[in-house]
């Protein structure tokens, strides 16, 4: 069993990189997606067009295809900019995941009924003011489980960056298998590590979802509940 | 253009395999998801707890790892599925846990009152499922199932990691043989955008129509 | 063994055909009517009548994959195609990453694995054939890089391939500065792009794309102990591998190789080896088999 312990220690090193990769991608994605979502409901057509184009393009491209194209196609440029495979991986993953997250944030913003906007404008608030004081605070609670579910999606998709030499846990596992010739055991250990990382997150996400529902006074089975449930499922399925 | 001529022998066969993987995995996901959702719908905790556990575990494992486990892991027991089958099974199983959630959300839209009505006229739970719940769920299911199809088309690229000769694999072959990245990169990303975008728009349109129906 | 007398008959009849096939490095499909049925049936493969080879990409002139789906060329291809012709087998390729070729053979996804080096750990699982070629570990850097020995690479990004025999030593020596790629071509592309400062692999890679004998690339020799690599792994031969219980297959491959001895030296040239390419005529001796 000491052998398994040794393997776990090696894989744990890769898991650290997985966590760093996912954290960096998450932070960047939240910022970018927030901006994109606001842009897509803004009254200015140019902003809506830009957001729409970004989301349309990056939600259509598979992560592996973009990663390989960027890393090997733009290799010289990346080198001149001093970007390592890790940096490239974060950029590629962020570009694509932020597109999905932006759509989900937009759904959360649009779920806030028109009445709120009308009421705010009747009080004299302009668009930006309404957004800041009325809409965003209401969109924040549902955004939390969405973001948590997206974190899970990001952690899972980070495994794809093993293809461009990012030493996250999947790559470390492949190297370990080449040395030990034991794919089943190693891949099960890797699955275990992902479980340890992700299961707590999804449980927290479910709990937060319930808290949010209670605070917003949503009863299960109602349309709002269905909308919220759909949003959070889609968050994890990177769909919608 | 000669570039396109050079690309086609790599891209065309790859596109065909991608389509095969997408359809195969989608069928696995749609059917397995339904089974999971129906089984999970029961009130018997003895059944729901293990099923939920399995669903949660699969949902927490990256599809790439599931693919590796099916392709290399089963190989240790001398169950050697070829890359294409491994991809279809692996991606299908990986997606089925999400499809199951979509079905569940759909079941919930069928009000309890309907189910109780069904039970009260003597239908057993399975029959209520078959004749009352599932038929009414279908319009709600179509957009997410279509979504899952589009998603699987993108995740089909993972199959290249276990040697299935799909689109990305073909593109990589081209890059390795000719040393040029740009034509293959543009081709594969362009193809994906051109195919995926209209489908995603279609899904959004369908979703809007379904939502309008619920409001009524 | 009864097979050897039959194969001698077939071999004499087919020697010319084999040499012709090998020299042309042509496609793998064969006419099974040429070989007697008894030789074909003595070769047990996972798919009857088909020899499945796990490959990890092209490295001309040693081995080339494609352009057809099941075409193997180069020096290794010459050997395999001669073998396939002699024993009435069709060639099927399972093209994947380097590390996966080893697993593929181990699990029975392929009959033969593309040439790899010998280690005692690998010998526990695989039976080796005669050697294919001889290679030495070298350091590739850009000519502008001032390489003075292994320590001059510390702190720089260095690349190699997942599954290579040296990779565990490199990982200890370089730590997180070592980038491992799925295939040699990926690593070489990154090196040529400048994304890694040095690439560690066999000397023969210098002759093929993407490095292609470029004058901007310098090749530095490696001695035993450099990077922690033991002396017996600095210069290695590569061999085809089969599963331990498939020794008959390996011996059949050796039989085919034996028949190419006369023409072997010329094959490299006809496979397009550039001037200055080291001759690949290792003595036909098998390594210490452990199974």
Q: Residue C140's closest CA among C156, C158, C161, C152?
A: C158
Q: Answer yes or no: do B155 and A62 touch at CB < 8 A.
A: yes
Question: Is A220 part of the contact surface with chain C (CB cutoff 8 Å)?
Answer: no
Distance CA C16, CA B1 (A): 43
Q: Count of CB contacts below 8 A, B vs C?
A: 34
**pLDDT beneath 70, residues of chain C:** 1-42
The predicted model gives A3-20 an average pLDDT of: 93
Any CB–CB contact under 8 A between B77 and chain C?
no
Burial A16-52 (b: 16+ CB within 10 A, else e): ebbeebbebbbebbbebbbebbbbbbeeeeebeeebe
Report the pLDDT value the prediction gives residue C46, as an integer from 0 to 100: 87
- Domain C136-233 in the same topology as domain C2-134+237-270: yes
CATH of B2-215, one of 3.40.50.620, 3.40.309.10, 1.10.3720.10, 2.30.30.790: 1.10.3720.10
Residue pLDDT, tens place only, A42-81:
999 999 999 999 999 999 999 999 999 999 999 889 989 9
Domain ranges of chain B: 2-215
A84-127: pLDDT as tens digits:
999 999 999 999 999 999 999 998 898 888 888 888 888 888 88
Among the ranges given (A221-230, B207-216, C44-53), the one the predictor scored with the smallest mean pLDDT: A221-230
From B177, which residue of chain C is nearest by alpha-carbon distance?
C58
Q: Which residues pair with C198 in a beta bridge?
A: C141, C158
Residue of C nearest to B75 (CA): C107
Q: A138 pLDDT band (50/70/90 cuts)? A: confident
Q: Which of A230-234, B206-210, C34-38 has the weakest average pLDDT?
A: C34-38
Which residues of C are less than 8 Å from A177 in CB distance?
Answer: 99, 103
Q: Annotate C125-173 with three-state secondary structure.
A: HEEEEEEEEEEEEEEEEECCCCCCCHHHHCCCCEEEECCCCCHHHHHHH
Taking contacts as CB-CB distances below 8 angstroms, the residues of chain C near A72 are 186, 189-190, 193
C-beta of residue B105 within 8 angstroms of C-beta of residue A233:
yes
pLDDT of residue B193: 96
Q: What is the ipTM of this complex?
A: 0.89
Q: B72–C107: do the CB atoms touch at under 8 Å?
A: yes
Q: Determine contact: A85 vs chain C, CB below 8 A.
A: yes
Q: Give residue-wise pLDDT tens across range B167-206.
A: 999 898 888 878 889 999 999 999 999 999 999 989 888 8
Taking CB atoms and an 8 Å limit, are B105 and A159 in contact across chains? no
Mapping DSSP onto H, E and C, the string for chain A reads: CHHHHHHHHHHHHHHHHHHHHHHHHHHHHHHHHHHHHHHHCCCCHHHHHHHHHHHHHHCCCCHHHHHHHHHHHCHHHHHHCCCCHHHHHHHHHHHHHHHHHHHHHHHHHHCCCHHHHHHHHHCCCCHHHHHHHHHHHHHHHHHHHHHHHHHHHHHHHHHHHHHHCCCCHHHHHHHHHHHHCCHHHHHHHHHHHHHHHHHHHHHHHHHHHHHHHHHCCCCCCCHHHHHHHHHHHHHHHCCC
Q: How far is CA C11 from the centre of its chain?
A: 25
pLDDT value at residue A231:
61
Q: Is A45 on the interface with C (CB under 8 A)?
A: no
**Between chains, do C95 and B75 touch, taking CB under 8 Å as contact?**
no
Chain B residue whose CA is closest to C100: B162
Chain C residues with CB under 8 Å of A165 CB are 159, 179-181, 186-187, 190
Which sequence spans correspond to the domains of chain C?
2-134+237-270, 136-233
- Report percent pLDDT > 70 for chain A: 89
The residue behind tokens 């087998």 is: C89
Partner residue opposite C195 with nearest CB, options A75, A163, A179: A75
pLDDT tens digits, B26-61: 999 999 999 999 898 888 888 889 999 999 999 999
Quick check: C165 and C119 in contact, CB under 8 A? yes
Residue A225: the pLDDT is: 58
pLDDT digits (tens, 9 = 90+) for B62-71: 999 999 999 9
Residue in chain C closest to B14 (alpha carbons) equals C69
Q: Which of A64, A72, A195 sits opposite B61 (nearest CB)?
A: A195
- CATH architecture, domain C2-134+237-270: 3-Layer(aba) Sandwich (3.40)
Where do the domains of chain A lie? 18-167+187-237
CB-based contact A73 B185, cutoff 8 Å: yes
Name the phi and psi angles at B103, rounded to 5: -60, -45
Query: Where does chain C have alpha helices with state H?
Result: 2-24, 37-42, 74-87, 98-107, 120-125, 167-174, 184-193, 247-259, 264-270
Question: Where do the DSSP E strands lie in chain B?
Answer: none
CB atoms within 10 A of CB B54: 13
Instruction: Identify which has the larger pLDDT, C106 or A222.
Output: C106
In Å, how far are A193, C90, C119 from C104, measured between CA atoms?
A: 25, 19, 18
For domain C136-233, which CATH number applies: 3.40.50.2300, 3.40.190.10, 3.30.465.10, 3.40.640.10? 3.40.190.10
Q: Which residue carries 């319009």 as its tokens?
A: B139
Residue B163: both structure tokens together: 């040697």
List, for residues A159-174, the tens digit of each pLDDT value.
999 999 999 999 999 9
A3 interfaces chain C, CB cutoff of 8 Å = no
- Per-residue model confidence as pLDDT tens digits over A179-194: 898 999 999 999 999 9
The CATH number given to A18-167+187-237 is 1.10.3720.10
| A70 → chain B, closest CA residue | B185
- Which chains reach chain B with 3 or more Cβ–Cβ distances below 8 angstroms? A, C
Our CA-based measurement puts residue A65 at a distance from the nearest CA of chain C, in whole angstroms, of 14
CA distances from B14 to A64, B11, B32, B36 (A): 15, 5, 27, 32
Q: Are C53 and C102 in contact (CB under 8 A)?
A: no
Q: What is the model's pLDDT at position B98?
A: 93
Whole-number Å distance between alpha carbons of A89 and A70? 9
Task: Select from B81, A179, B79 the least CA-distant residue to C98.
Answer: A179
- Are B108 and A62 a contacting pair at CB < 8 A? no
Please give the model's pTM, rounded to 2 decimal places.
Answer: 0.87
pLDDT score, position B44: 84
pLDDT-based confidence at residue B152 (cuts at 50, 70, 90)? very high
Query: What residues of A are in contact with residue C163 (Cβ under 8 Å)?
Result: 174-175, 178
Residue C62 CA to residue C137 CA, distance in Å, equals 16
Of C197 and A221, the one with more pLDDT: C197
């Amino acid at each position: 069993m000491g052998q398994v312990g040794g393997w776990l220690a090696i894989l744990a090193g890769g898991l650290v990189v997985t966590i760093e990769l996912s954290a960096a991608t998450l932070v960047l994605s939240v910022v970018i997606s927030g901006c994109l979502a606001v842009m897509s409901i803004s009254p200015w057509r140019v902003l809506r067009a830009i957001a729409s184009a970004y989301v349309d393009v990056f939600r259509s491209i598979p992560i592996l295809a973009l990663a390989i194209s960027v890393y090997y196609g733009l290799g010289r440029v990346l080198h001149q900019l001093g970007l390592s495979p890790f940096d490239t991986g974060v950029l590629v993953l962020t570009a694509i995941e932020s597109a999905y997250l932006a759509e989900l944030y937009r759904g959360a913003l649009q779920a806030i009924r028109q009445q709120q906007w009308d009421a705010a404008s009747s009080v004299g608030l302009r668009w930006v003011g309404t957004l800041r004081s009325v809409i965003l605070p209401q969109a924040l609670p549902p955004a939390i489980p969405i973001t948590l579910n997206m974190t899970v999606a990001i952690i899972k998709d980070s495994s794809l960056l093993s293809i461009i030499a990012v030493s996250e846990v999947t790559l470390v596992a492949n190297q370990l298998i080449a040395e030990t010739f034991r794919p089943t055991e190693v891949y099960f250990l890797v699955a275990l590590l992902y479980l340890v990382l992700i299961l707590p997150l999804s449980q927290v996400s479910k709990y937060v979802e319930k808290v949010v529902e209670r605070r917003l006074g949503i009863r299960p089975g109602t349309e709002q509940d269905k909308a919220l449930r759909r949003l959070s499922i889609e968050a994890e399925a990177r769909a919608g | 253009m000669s570039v396109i001529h050079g690309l086609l022998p790599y891209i065309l066969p790859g596109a065909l395999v991608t389509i095969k993987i997408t359809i195969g995995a989608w069928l696995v996901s749609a059917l397995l998801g339904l089974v999971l959702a129906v089984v999970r719908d029961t009130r018997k905790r003895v059944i729901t707890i293990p099923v939920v556990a399995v669903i949660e575990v699969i949902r927490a494992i990256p599809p790439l790892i599931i693919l590796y486990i099916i392709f290399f892991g089963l190989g240790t027991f001398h169950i050697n599925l070829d890359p294409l089958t491994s991809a279809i099974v692996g991606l299908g199983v990986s997606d089925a846990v999400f499809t199951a959630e979509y079905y569940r959300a759909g079941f919930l839209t069928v009000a309890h009152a309907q189910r109780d009505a069904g039970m009260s006229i003597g239908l057993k739970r399975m029959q209520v499922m078959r004749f009352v719940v599932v038929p009414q769920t279908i319009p709600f299911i179509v957009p997410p199932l279509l979504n899952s199809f589009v998603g699987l088309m993108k995740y089909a690229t993972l199959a290249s990691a276990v040697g299935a000769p799909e689109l990305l694999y073909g593109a990589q072959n081209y890059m390795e043989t000719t040393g040029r990245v740009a034509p293959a990169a543009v081709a594969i990303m362009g193809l994906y955008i051109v195919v995926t975008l209209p489908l995603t728009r279609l899904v959004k349109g369908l979703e809007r129509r379904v939502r309008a129906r619920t409001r009524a | 063994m009864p097979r050897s007398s039959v194969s001698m008959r077939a071999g004499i009849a087919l020697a010319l055909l084999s040499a012709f096939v090998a020299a042309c490095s042509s496609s793998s499909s064969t006419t099974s009517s040429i070989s007697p049925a008894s030789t074909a049936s003595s070769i047990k493969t996972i798919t009857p009548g088909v020899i499945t080879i796990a490959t990890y990409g092209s490295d001309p002139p040693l081995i080339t994959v494609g352009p057809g789906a099941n075409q193997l060329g180069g020096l290794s291809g010459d050997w395999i195609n001669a073998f396939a012709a002699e024993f009435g087998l069709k060639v099927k390729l399972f093209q994947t990453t380097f590390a996966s070729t080893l697993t593929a053979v181990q699990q029975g996804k392929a009959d033969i694995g593309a040439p790899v080096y010998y280690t005692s750990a690998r010998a526990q699982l695989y039976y080796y054939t005669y050697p294919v070629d001889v290679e030495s570990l070298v350091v590739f850097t850009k000519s502008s890089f001032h390489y003075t020995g292994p320590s001059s690479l510390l702190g720089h990004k260095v690349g190699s391939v997942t599954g290579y025999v040296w990779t565990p030593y490199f990982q200890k020596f370089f730590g997180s500065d070592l980038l491992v790629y799925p295939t040699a071509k990926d690593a070489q592309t990154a090196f040529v792009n400048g994304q890694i400062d040095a690439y560690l692999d066999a000397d023969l890679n210098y002759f093929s794309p993407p490095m292609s004998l470029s004058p901007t690339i310098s090749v530095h020799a490696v001695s035993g102990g450099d990077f922690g690599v033991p002396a017996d792994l600095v210069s290695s031969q590569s061999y085809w591998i089969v599963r331990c219980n498939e020794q008959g297959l390996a011996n059949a491959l050796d039989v085919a190789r034996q028949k190419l001895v006369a023409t072997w030296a010329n094959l490299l040239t006809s496979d397009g080896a550039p001037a200055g390419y080291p001759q690949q005529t290792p003595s036909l001796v098998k390594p210490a088999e452990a199974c």
